[in-house]
Amino acid sequence: MDQLYREAILDHYKHPRRKGHIDGPDIHYHDTNPFCGDEITIELKVTDGVVVDAAFDGRGCAISQASASMIMEEIVGMSVDDLKDWGKEDILDLLGIEIGPVRLKCALLPLKALKAGLYGLDEWPE
Amino acid sequence: MNGSQSITVDPKISSLRSLFPVLERQVHGKPLVYLDNAATTQKPLAVIESMDNYYRHYNSNIHRGVHSLSEEATAAYEGARERIARFINAASDRQTIFTRNATEAINVVAHSWGRANLGPGDEVLITEMEHHSNIVPWQIMQEQLGFTLRYVPITDGGLLDLSELDTLLNERTKLFAFVHVSNVLGTVNPAAELVKAAHAVGALALIDASQSVPHMPVDVQALDADFLVFSGHKLCGPTGIGILYGKRDLLEAMPPFMGGGDMIREVKMSGSRWNTLPYKFEAGTPAIAEGIGLGAAVDFLQEVGMDWIWQHEHALTSYAYERLAQVEGLHILGPEQRGGLIAFTLGEVHPHDLSAVLDADGVAIRAGHHCAQPIHDRLGIVASARASFYLYNTFEEVDKLVVGLEKAGQIFAF
């Protein structure tokens, strides 16, 4: 548990970075995890294939909220092409913890929303 | 607080605990405190051994072979059915149909009885405090059959709001299907009265007894239930086995739910004749070991005593209610008078985070919507945490829950 809720995760949970909304986002994506009621909205501004501004809004457990906050902090300045290659391991590296199969869904919800938004999907292909 | 007097571990509970192998294990180096009994209960040795014994010594199919093993297996399986029927005071063991679980039992009624009896203009009444298992089958059948599904609302205090029952139950109502004890609110509904109200308008009554049969004496005849369902794994039995109880004339009149072996008397190319009860509803080779295991579970519970279990859980739950109510920011869902479970929220802390912190101390609780989203919607919350008790839980375990929750409150405090 001490490992699961390490200081950095609690810090991002209690003081989320880039939480809220941006003006005129180019990409806007909303997703939920009906299993636990987590919700997330991701907004991105993209110029010349690079993320220049980003924000998230939502509610959920510490893992999902910290994951969203860490992702937002990381992606500004990154190219859309690089972000499209992001996967599970990138998020686990950001979080710096090991996660069991049930909580993994919490950690990956923001990534799921981010990638669906980047690919312009209406809905994540299950 | 009178807690300090209560924390002497009852010798009966110590000896009961020794019969459950899993209670000896540790989780993250701490003794397991298992408080997720409304999801599923742990299994005593008697149940585990009864199933092991079947597989080791007389594994064979039932109702068919004339050899010794098959006769032994048939006797054990049907013996279990008889004891389960007596356990809920069914008039006959033909009225206790083995299903996979309570969910399947409700689906049998929805598909078999529903198709034969429901159509446009008819109404089925359920409640806002149902488990999804007593909502979704009716929604599915509603689409196919065109009847109207109505809901008895709940009060802010977590009781059924019966003020409009006279309107909700009317001459169009064909079935009133309701939960006996809520798996989220803990509310014990006045089942006998509700059955009576249903009968008064000529409707049938189905009781979802998943959270009552494991915890209190339940008498299907005293309740005058038309149908009553429960799952075996919530009463010390294995998963994969449950019971559909029904009144004899209703079950006799219902068409089979599934076709196959064992449910027929005679099969010809031109058609088939159905077997008698209960086999008409038990197509295919059933869960034999599980049926035998459920029989052993019922024997075990009767030995412990259903009255004792109810009283023990009542004492434990009252103590937990009192202790939890004192935790800062903790909000309990549902009424004070309740069955052996307490769902709650703790400030803004997400139930998953609560559960993870408790798990680190070996304490297992449930987090989420407990397969009862409408209740959570009604109460305006997304999810809750739930501690649920059984015959082997102790006052000391309630204390560990409280300590864990206080710790979680500190970790996630903004």
Instruction: Report the pLDDT value the prediction gives residue A86, as an integer from 0 to 100.
Output: 94
Q: B359 CB near a chain A CB, below 8 Å? A: yes
Band of residue B2 on the pLDDT scale cut at 50, 70, 90: very low
Given a cut of 60, whether residue B87 has pLDDT beyond it is: yes
- In chain A, which residues have pLDDT < 70? 1-2, 122-126
State the amino acid at position A69 in one-letter form: S
Residue at A63 is within a domain: yes
Active site residues of B: 371
How far is B275 from B271, CA to CA, in rounded Å? 13
ipTM: 0.84
The DSSP element (H or E) to which B386 belongs, if any, is: strand B384-388
Which of B136, B350, B376, B386 is most worth mutating to test chain A (most A CB atoms within 10 A of its CB)?
B350
Q: A2 CB near a chain B CB, below 8 Å? A: yes
Band of residue B1 on the pLDDT scale cut at 50, 70, 90: very low
Residue at A112 is within a domain: yes
Q: What are phi and psi of B401, to 5 degrees?
A: -60, -45
Sorted by where each starts, the structural domains of chain B and their CATH numbers stand as 3-37+305-411 (3.90.1150.10), 48-303 (3.40.640.10)
Find the CATH number of the domain harbouring A27: 3.90.1010.10
Given a cut of 70, whether residue B198 has pLDDT beyond it is: yes
In 3D space, the residue among B301, B359, B283, B307 whose CA is nearest the CA of residue B99 turns out to be B283
Share of chain A above pLDDT 90, in %: 73
Tell me what the mean pLDDT of segment B316-342 comes to: 97
Domain count, chain A: 1
How far is B149 from B70, CA to CA, in rounded Å? 45
Instruction: Report the pLDDT value the prediction gives residue B9, as an integer from 0 to 100.
Output: 65
List, for residues B131-183, the tens digit of each pLDDT value.
999 999 999 999 999 999 999 999 999 999 999 999 999 999 999 999 999 99
Residue at A124 is within a domain: no
Residue at A101 is within a domain: yes
Question: Per-residue DSSP letters for B127-187?
Answer: ETT--GGGTHHHHHHHHHH--EEEEE-B-TTSSB-GGGHHHHS-TTEEEEEEESB-TTT--
Residue at A66 is within a domain: yes
Closest CA of chain A from B311, distance in Å: 33
Instruction: Report the pLDDT value the prediction gives residue A35, as an integer from 0 to 100.
Output: 73
Q: Chain B residue with minimal CA distance to A1?
A: B360
List, for residues B235-254, the tens digit of each pLDDT value.
999 999 999 999 999 999 99
Instruction: Report the pLDDT value the prediction gives residue B393, as an integer from 0 to 100.
Output: 98
Residue at A1 is within a domain: no
Given a cut of 90, whether residue B336 has pLDDT beyond it is: yes
List, for residues B180-190, the tens digit of each pLDDT value.
999 999 999 99
Q: What are phi and psi of B150, to 5 degrees?
A: -120, 160
In 3D space, the residue among B274, B273, B233 whose CA is nearest the CA of residue B251 turns out to be B274
> Are B411 and A10 inside 8 Å of each other by CB?
yes
Instruction: Report the pLDDT value the prediction gives residue B401, as an integer from 0 to 100.
Output: 98
Which of A19, A61, A95, A102 is most worth mutating to test chain B (most B CB atoms within 10 A of its CB)?
A61
State the amino acid at position B245 in one-letter form: Y
Question: Of A1, A59, A103, which is closest to B357 when you measure between CB atoms?
Answer: A1
> Are A37 and B369 inside 8 Å of each other by CB?
yes
Question: Of B352, B357, B360, which is closest to A36 when you measure between CB atoms?
Answer: B352
Instruction: Report the pLDDT value the prediction gives residue A122, as an integer from 0 to 100.
Output: 63
How far is B351 from B366, CA to CA, in rounded Å? 8
Instruction: Report the pLDDT value the prediction gives residue A124, as an integer from 0 to 100.
Output: 58
Closest CA of chain B from A28, distance in Å: 23
Q: Is B273 helix (H, G, I), strand (E, B) or coil?
A: strand
| Mean of the per-residue pLDDT values of chain B | 95
pTM of the model: 0.92
Residue at A64 is within a domain: yes
Least confident range from B188-192, B260-264, B313-317, B399-403: namely: B260-264
Interface of A with B in 70-89 (CB under 8 A): none
Residue range(s) defining the domain that contains residue A45: 7-118
State the amino acid at position B321 in one-letter form: Y
Q: B83 CB near a chain A CB, below 8 Å? A: no
> Are A62 and B360 inside 8 Å of each other by CB?
no
Instruction: Report the pLDDT value the prediction gives residue B3, as an integer from 0 to 100.
Output: 42
Residues B208, B212, B214, CA angle at the centre, nearest 5°? 120
List, for residues B11-62, the tens digit of each pLDDT value.
899 999 999 999 999 999 999 999 999 999 999 999 999 999 999 999 999 9
Which of B184, B353, B361 is most worth mutating to test chain A (most A CB atoms within 10 A of its CB)?
B353
Residues B95, B112, B139, CA angle at the centre, nearest 5°? 120
The tokens describing B370, both together, are 């407990």
Q: B28 CB near a chain A CB, below 8 Å? A: yes
**More confident of the two residues B1 and B101:** B101
Q: A103 CB near a chain B CB, below 8 Å? A: yes
Given a cut of 70, whether residue B199 has pLDDT beyond it is: yes
